[in-house]
Structure 1
């Protein structure tokens, strides 16, 4: 990222600034909760095999992180679709929240309630052009505060030029089906990118997977810095709903089969509960300011004469690792 004008403090302390967001399902799930949206969560996808998608369905959209390059869009950029919520990215570091919001604000599903903040923002921006929507997002205090709650404490924060594509090393975009067509929602373009038609009996995931795979293959050999996440319905709610159906509604299953299925679903519910607990713990650690401890530790090591020996030992290990890699090559 291009850097200029070092500013002391965190991103939250610089008015109008947005922090970088880690590509992690726990972070994105908490963003959703923080926005006031319920019934949705984010899951990481480790492979493009169809089975990796199947067990997460319904999948409402995908969020793809990749190393940004100045590339032509893979489809037709449309600027005449007022029925699609799309905002231009005019704020540095906002692409994570921007990609997530573009999926949520185009979503119509009974499982998911956008909540007061997102519904109000959508109504306010409904008749505005994408550029103005991008500026409105920058001025939406609640959304910005939730985003910047993941700002990591640093000694120096570097300000960047808002909206310049060259400022972004990595970039988030969204993919989702809208009214029978597959769209890529990338705030760096003027509008949604229409990628393909989706057949009446076709699963949109079967259409998008080869498109993402082809995009990854365009990069140089050895480039592995990709991340793919799915916006899905709250898994715990889905499993609990299935349990209620098995308990209260007639089923072709025998009593033993029904009880076995209920036991399996309860195991899944416990897994989701444990996952949410783990996400909360990880996010607390992400937000914790470890810098005073680190600085005090370095100070104490220096005062007791232990710092330089540790440094020299670490440097020697680095040289050995580099020599080993050179020999392997």
Structure 2
């Protein structure tokens, strides 16, 4: 496991963050989508899928402590780009790069094309050092750091309590075989042949089996897919349907092809939804980078000068107590009914 952060920050496990990261490095025509089910139908709707990024809890330095794969490791396969992870906090970016740099159809852009050509003959460990020392990749990665001026002040290095660590790995098809690319391993793991897009059928059970080996009902997992630009994919499908509709109407009359008209309208709505989603992700990424502390300070200062701060603080305390009591009652009711609680968003912090 990597020993230090090397000025690489933690970033959130979020499709908007990873899509922004990919675009920031200069890669064109792809994005990241979060997946809530590994069934074939879900993956079919996202085709073409270049690879999956899987997040799981890292149990410790001992490889046996974390449920892993039993697929054989391939050493020195020149057809597979594999880089060992030599630095902490970089595994999310490294998992994304593992997919992009092994996909023959992705437009990598000048930066990654030059990087891939430069390190092509490097051993896995040196590839990892090359990633960690890339000013461009590191700068884009760190641009998604949350602005939090209280992290250093509030962190107690003497505390015995340790936060859970999470790790990202990649699954992607390469030359007709399904590979698992984990930078903390000695090499890529080959899960066997998968001609065409049959890897989508093969990868689901592999991930599910790995999740099932965790003890204690561990449910903190995350799965994302690197896919082609969804707007481009939907637009191409819409144009194809419009061409089919025009040909059908020319042959059968203007009233023909009602089902095609309906599909075209649905696709137009899907494009609008995707555009709205992107605007939301862009806004969220801007908010992640913004430091609101100066604004909050000035607001509190103004309220104090007007003599309103003390009353608001007391009102806040009363409300917090009421909400805490309400939450305690809901938790007790859920426990009595055998229910569970919500999970937080997980961070890349291995």
Normalised TM-score (structure 1): 0.83
Q: Which runs of 5+ in 2 are unaligned?
A: 60-64, 156-161, 251-255, 337-350
2:144 matches 1:150: yes
| 1:260 CA displacement | 4.0
Q: Summarize the alignment of residues 164-243 of structure 1 with structure 2, pairs less than 5 Å apart.
A: 169-198=165-194, 200=195, 203-243=198-238
Number of matched residues?
308
Distance 1:269 1:54 in 2: 18
Relative to structure 1, the CA distance from residue 324 to residue 121 in structure 2 (aligned partners, 3 Å threshold; closer, same or farther) is same
Q: Summarize the alignment of residues 1-329 of structure 1 with structure 2, pairs less than 5 Å apart.
A: 16-69=6-59, 70-71=65-66, 72-109=68-105, 112-157=106-151, 169-198=165-194, 200=195, 203-247=198-242, 253-254=248-249, 256-257=256-257, 258-297=260-299, 304-306=309-311, 307=313, 310-311=316-317, 313-315=319-321, 317-318=323-324, 321-322=327-328, 325-326=331-332, 328-329=335-336
| 1:299 CA displacement | 5.7
Aligned position for 2:346: none
| 1:254 CA displacement | 4.8
Structure whose alpha-carbon radius of gyration is higher? 2
Distance 1:323 1:262 in 2: 49
Contact 2:176–2:196 (8 Å) recurs in 1: no
Relative to structure 1, the CA distance from residue 67 to residue 251 in structure 2 (aligned partners, 3 Å threshold; closer, same or farther) is farther
Distance 2:112 2:284 in 1: 25
Relative to structure 1, the CA distance from residue 57 to residue 88 in structure 2 (aligned partners, 3 Å threshold; closer, same or farther) is same
Normalised TM-score (structure 2): 0.78
Distance 1:78 1:168 in 2: 30
Which segment is superposed worse, 96-105 or 48-57? Answer: 48-57
1:276 aligned counterpart, secondary structure: helix
Q: Which runs of 5+ in 1 are unaligned?
A: 5-10, 160-165
Distance 1:151 1:237 in 2: 29
Distance 1:280 1:226 in 2: 25
Which segment is superposed worse, 262-271 or 60-69? Answer: 262-271
Contact 1:153–1:291 (8 Å) recurs in 2: no
The CA deviation string for residues 28-78 of structure 1, in whole angstroms up to 9 with x for no partner, is: 111111111111111111112222111111111001111112335331111
Relative to structure 1, the CA distance from residue 324 to residue 56 in structure 2 (aligned partners, 3 Å threshold; closer, same or farther) is closer
Which segment is superposed worse, 176-185 or 237-246? Answer: 237-246
Distance 2:331 2:243 in 1: 62
Distance 1:196 1:61 in 2: 16
